[in-house]
Amino acid sequence: MYTDQMSVLQQIGFDGEDMGILHCMLGAIIHITEVKFREAERQNEALEIVNLEHVNTAAKLLNVNPLDLGVALIKTKTDYGGEEIHVLKSLSQANDGRDALAKAIYERLFGWVIRTINDDLNPSKQSSRIAASIGVLDIAGFENLHNNSFEQLCINFVNERLQNFMNESVFKTEKAIYDEDGIPCQDVDFKNNMDIIVVFTKKSVGILSLLDEETKLQQGTDEKFVQKVTSNHADSGIIMKSTTSDPVFGIHHFAGQVLYRCEGFLEKNKDTLNDDLFDCMKGSENPFINDLFTVTKGPTGTISETQFHLRQSRRTTMAFHKSKKAATPRSDDVRKLSRELGRSMKRYGQSRGVVPSYSTKKHNTVISYFRASMDKLLEKMKQAEAHFVRCIKPNNKKMKENFDASRVKEQLLYNGITEVAKIRKQGYPVRKSHSDFYKRYLLFLNQLL
């Protein structure tokens, strides 16, 4: 499979340098996610990085200073009372920052891959007229897990929007065709979920707006967000209030009830890649990585549509061939990094525990990108001739030759497939254009005349 993927990349225009930087950055992501932290022995001291060899290797693959990367992983800067101060990260903040860095590298790398594919599909490279493009919608079906969090809320909202789009496309469009052609058609009741979508999207008091508002507040909390959601939609019949004091609320989705545990909602909605880590990536000696973190994201949170020219590094091929050697750094390199990191962290005062401010001028929230991406997707779908493939799980055990009739029936009912079958049954399943019909059956017409 790996060989096939590399072959495909070469076919769509990736050269040796492109393949080299792709491997280097993916390798760096793996090493970054392996970085572990632990509390210092003394109070108010910086966290210790347990395995500095991963920091050293990731830095070499990204062509950044290992010391700068190590410092940025355990320290950040924030605005406090109008003054910029340096803050030592807590253990949870360091873990979040590490994960955010890995995500940011992958996100921007993926955007570049999509952009390269689009360029290959549009050889004319005319900025005013796009000949072809590729869009990837990777969305799971409706989810109701044992523990539903921010990710499930987003996935289920997308499913609400797509379900509504299918309703509009199939039921209303189908009814209009029958009326135009004079075909008798009885009304088919379908579950309209627009009221659920309004609860999510209503200006100021919708779930998404309330989440963004609470995220931007310095004193915002998950608990306050839940309180605002339940109080603003108490009479909607869609939002369920928890009987406990935990930050939990429920939603009556088109596919069933889901309880959401909201611990960490605000943090997940933030762009948690702190300025130190971002500046470290922009300071890469590799021109490509430097540009990759210099380019500004588009409204949907990706760089795939940017017109920014990304420089190509002429050193990545060498770095790729040396990556195996870089994966096992010399012990003296790691010891040197440890000493330098210790000396560097002594410069920063005991400002640990301060919560870094979240600047809405510098960073958009995840929800803001999510909404823009969803709106753009639906706009494209409305302009296209939509075809739907609905996937039905035969069981919840991921087992072959195991057909759970009750589970299948449940999905057929809430997906609206039974209603689609009813309305299509009233019309004619085989549909040809008048010109195709004329060409196909003209011979019979001549014989009759």
Number of CB atoms found within 10 A of residue 123's CB: 10
Q: Give me the pLDDT at residue 136, please.
A: 55
Tokens of 246: 């935990």
This prediction's pTM: 0.74
Q: Give me the pLDDT at residue 46, please.
A: 81
φ and ψ at 442, to 5 degrees?
A: -60, -35
Q: Give me the pLDDT at residue 43, please.
A: 73
Contacts 24+ apart (CB under 8 A), 79-85: 79/357, 79/359, 80/354, 80/357, 85/351, 85/354
CATH of 2-136+271-357, one of 1.10.10.10, 1.10.3720.10, 1.20.120.720, 3.40.50.2000: 1.20.120.720
Residues 6+ apart with CB under 8 A from 282: 290, 293, 294
CA 93/CA 75 separation, integer angstroms = 9
Residues 6+ apart with CB under 8 A from 60: 66, 319, 326, 329
127: exposed, middle or buried (Cβ count in 10 Å: 0-12, 13-18, 19+) = exposed
- Classified as helix, coil or strand, 209 is helix
Eight-class DSSP state of 256: E
- Cα angle 337, 342, 343; round to 5: 100
Of 299, 261, 254, 269, which Cα lies nearest the Cα of 158?
254
Eight-class DSSP state of 243: S
CA 41/CA 347 separation, integer angstroms = 18
Query: Can you say whether the dihedral through the CA atoms of 163, 169, 171, 172 is positive or negative?
Result: positive
Q: Give me the pLDDT at residue 340, please.
A: 66
DSSP, residue by residue, 123-150: TT--SSS----------------SSB-H
Q: Give me the pLDDT at residue 239, please.
A: 96
Residue-by-residue pLDDT tens, the chain, 449 positions: 888 888 888 887 888 888 899 999 999 999 999 999 988 877 777 888 889 899 999 999 999 999 899 989 988 877 666 666 778 888 888 898 899 999 999 999 999 888 888 777 765 554 555 555 555 566 667 888 899 999 999 999 999 998 888 888 887 778 888 888 888 887 777 778 999 999 999 999 999 999 999 998 888 999 999 999 999 999 999 999 988 889 999 999 988 899 999 998 998 898 668 888 999 999 999 999 999 998 888 888 787 776 667 777 655 444 444 544 444 555 566 666 666 666 666 665 545 555 555 555 567 889 999 999 899 888 888 887 777 777 888 998 889 999 999 989 888 888 778 888 888 777 777 777 888 888 888 888 766 65
HSE (CB half, 13 Å, CA atoms) of 116? 19
Query: Domain extents for the chain?
Result: 2-136+271-357
Q: Give me the pLDDT at residue 320, please.
A: 46
Tokens of 389: 């493939």
